[in-house]
Amino acid sequence: NRSGASLTTRDVSQVNKDESSASNAQIADDVGSNIEQSIHSKTSMVSQHESIHSNRSGASLTTRDANPDNEEKRSTSNAQ
């Protein structure tokens, strides 16, 4: 029986090796897809950031245009 048992153990350890290499491949696949998602989200964050910057000059002009009333009121209250 002893030789039979060692054969079985060898077979089982081979199965374990196969399973661990399969799970390693799955881990590598998951890591790869996580990296891709991370790159994608960082890219979209950068493009959002750039659009905020490109809007900022326009927004500040608009804000300045929208606020002459406030500046006039302020100068009036300062005069009083």
Burial class of 41 by CB neighbour count within 10 A (0 to 12, 13 to 18, 19+): exposed
75: nearest Cα among 43, 26, 67: 67
**Digit-coded pLDDT (tens) for 23-75:** 777 777 787 788 888 877 777 777 776 666 665 555 555 555 555 666 666 66
**Overall residue count recorded for the chain in this entry:** 80
Q: Tell me, what's the pLDDT at 52? A: 63
- Predicted TM-score (pTM) of the model is 0.29
Q: Tell me, what's the pLDDT at 43? A: 77
Q: How far apart are CA 22 and CA 19, in angstroms?
A: 5
Phi-psi region of 21 (alpha: psi -120 to 50; beta: other; left: phi over 0): alpha
